[in-house]
Amino acid sequence: MNVPTPEQVEAMMSEKMGALPASLNSAKAIDPRFLVEQAMSSKFSVQDEQNPFDPKMSMIISLATSITLGSEECIMEHTKMLKKMGITKEELAYLVRIVKHAQGSAVMGNAKTAFDTFES
């Protein structure tokens, strides 16, 4: 398997996204190998040939995850990419509604221990 150099990854990301995301630029200053690690992670998930989801759906899943985790930089980058892929306002609105519902459901699931402890 060919592993790209940090310089190759930076060039590819800059071409695809317009610039290297700020977090990766900061990581690169500490250790450029972080760029390669990020690229390899993407290669074996979002960009994997066996990924059953089309690129737009993969990016929708990525945006939903970023919204849930609260990663502003990732939210911005994923939204820009989805906009280029043709996401509509309606699709974006439903994505947020689904994430909002899932987050609320997680709160109820997390509260189970408190409920059960109180009742015992």
> Residues 29-42: pLDDT tens digits?
999 999 999 989 88
Structural domains of the chain sorted by starting position, each given as residue range(s) with its CATH number in brackets: 1-44 (no CATH), 52-120 (1.20.1290.10)
3-state DSSP assignment of residue 23: helix
pLDDT bin (cut points 50, 70, 90) of residue 46 is confident
Q: What is the pLDDT of residues 60-88, one digit of tens each?
A: 999 999 999 999 999 999 999 999 999 99
Contact between 59 and 75 under an 8 Å Cβ cutoff? The reply is no
> Mean pLDDT score of the chain, rounded to an integer?
93
Q: How far apart are CA 66 and CA 113, in angstroms?
A: 26
* Alpha carbon distance 49, 83 (integer Å): 23
Query: pTM for the full model?
Result: 0.81
Q: To which residue do tokens 């995850």 refer?
A: 65
Q: What is the pLDDT of residues 106-115, one digit of tens each?
A: 999 999 999 9
